Copies of this chain bind each other. A is one copy, B any other.
Amino acid sequence: MSATEPRWLDEEQTKAWIALSAVLVELPTALDAQLQRDSGISHVDYQVLSWLSMTPGRAARMSQIAEMAKVSLSHLSRIAARLERQGWLRRTPDPHDGRATLAVLTEAGWDKVVAAAPGHVEEVQRLVFDNLTPAQVRQLESIGHRVLNGVRPGFSLRLPTASPPAD
């Protein structure tokens, strides 16, 4: 917003930025592609199913799911409609609050996550961690947190998308 000369990136920053930009494009694409190919499911859909599978009772309110998956409530409503159509999820009004609706993972939904999870984690390992040293993994975490702090000063991290379905 200042009227002075913009702070252009220096050479080191430029190289890092090019690499980061490419990762920002390629990694989500690749992850999406694996899930689509091996399980016929999008990454967002997987995330919702996966998170629900790790939740006590395998159920949660729509707004709670939307927050953890970082999607708008209206978006989640469409996602839930899709998952419901596939038989992986059921929506019922919350008995404790008539305004809220609970999304419940069905047995078929549970099976879907259990089937999809190993392939997904394997892909994460292959694309990311197999190429990094243990030191770099720690560096990545630190860098990630610092960037997040820049993006969202009061940030809260959501659950991983590549954890084993807990029972």
A75 within 8 A of partner (CB): no
Residues of B within 8 A of A8 (CB): 121, 162-164
Contacting pair A160 B127 (CB below 8 A) = no
Chain A, interface residues (CB within 8 Å), range: 35 or more
Q: How far is the CA of A161 from the CA of B150 in the complex (A)?
A: 19
Q: Mark A126-167, 1 if CB is under 8 A from B, else 0.
A: 111111101011111111111111111001011111111000
Copies per assembly = 2
Asked if A28 is an interface residue, CB under 8 A from chain B, the answer is yes
B27, A151: Cβ atoms closer than 8 Å: yes
Complex-state Cα separation, A50 to B139, whole angstroms: 31
Q: Are the CB atoms of A24 and B27 closer together than 8 Å?
A: yes
A141 cross-chain contacts in B, Cβ below 8 A = 12, 15-16, 19
Interface 0/1 of A8-45, CB less than 8 Å to B:
11001111111111111111101000000000000000
Task: State how many angstroms separate the Cβ of A165 from the closest Cβ of chain B.
Answer: 11
Cα-based distance from A157 to B24 in the complex (angstroms): 12
Inter-chain contact A144/B9, CB cutoff 8 Å: no
A-B contact pairs, 13 of them (CB 8 A): A6-B121, A8-B121, A9-B163, A14-B160, A14-B163, A16-B137, A18-B159, A23-B147, A23-B151, A25-B70, A27-B147, A27-B151, A136-B146
Q: A: which residues have CB within 8 A of B?
A: 1, 6-9, 12-28, 30, 70, 117-119, 121-122, 124-132, 134, 136-152, 155, 157-164
Nearest 9 A/B pairs, CB to CB: A19-B144, A6-B118, A16-B141, A131-B146, A127-B150, A131-B150, A16-B140, A139-B139, A26-B151
